[in-house]
Amino acid sequence: MSKTAEIQAFLKHEIALILRLKESEVNENASLDELGINSMAFVELLIAIENKFGVQLIQAGITKADLSSLKTFAQRIEQSL
């Protein structure tokens, strides 16, 4: 499994937990907005990412484009590692 795929799987799992969904209900091609991630859920997700990968994405300068899909977001996280 590539690092991007590993991060994407982690994101899918965490988003499912945060939104109280089954992982199969998380559309990997949807943006975080489309998935229903609000600002509080996003902060929760950022904390989980920081705890797992040790990267602080707020300081890394993520953009709305970085959040257009789980794969795009995973690639951005990988770039920050």
Instruction: Spell out the CATH class of 3-80.
Output: mainly alpha
The yes-or-no verdict on residue 17 having pLDDT over 90 is yes
Q: What is the pLDDT of residues 56-74, one digit of tens each?
A: 888 878 899 999 999 999 9
Phi and psi based region of residue 62 (left: phi greater than 0; alpha: psi -120 to 50; beta: remaining): beta
The yes-or-no verdict on residue 34 having pLDDT over 90 is yes
pTM: 0.93
The full set of domain ranges for the chain reads: 3-80
- Kindly give, in sequence order, each residue whose CB lies less than 8 Å from that of residue 12, ignoring residues fewer than 6 positions away: 23, 26, 28, 70
Instruction: Tell me the average pLDDT of the chain.
Output: 94
The yes-or-no verdict on residue 6 having pLDDT over 90 is yes
